[in-house]
Structure 1
Amino acid sequence: MKEFVIEAQKIPPQQRHSHIFETFDNLEAGESIVIVNNHDPVPLLRQFEENRQEQFQPEYLEKGPEVWKLRLTKLKKEGCCGFCGG
């Protein structure tokens, strides 16, 4: 399974969340993105909980104080074979 790293602090703030959502939406089921940031990405995680409910599994890999790493794994739908990325 693939895992993509996004260094969030290197993306302009006005493009950051949309870039992360776009990358996540292009993942296949079982693939992940790891978001590396200089602060806890709680606002982003809340947006995922609101807009991608039951589509992802979050896991903190590192929790500061200088670097946070959050893995978001795309889940496959119940009964899905995984080939469509759904």
Structure 2
Amino acid sequence: MARTIDQQIAEAQARLNRLKTRAKATETRRKIIVGAIVTTEALKDPKIARWMAATLRKNATREVDQKELTGLLADLDAKAAEA
């Protein structure tokens, strides 16, 4: 039995939603990987630590995010002070 136009549209929309979900998951994984690498390097290099601490302070504007970053910012500040 042939599918109706409405069925075909619904299937295409479902397929599009699955692709959007997969794209979002890929983007999230990429952000996690980049964040981990940059954080690791910042904790080794005072110059990167200064940049990262300043960037985080400037861009993490939500109070909940600022609280989450407290320990990392302290570590970055300590590394930046070594220079």
Tell me whether the two structures share a fold, i.e. TM-score over 0.5. Answer: no
Larger fraction in strand: 1
Larger fraction in helix: 2
Larger Rg: 2
Normalised by the length of structure 2, the TM-score is 0.32
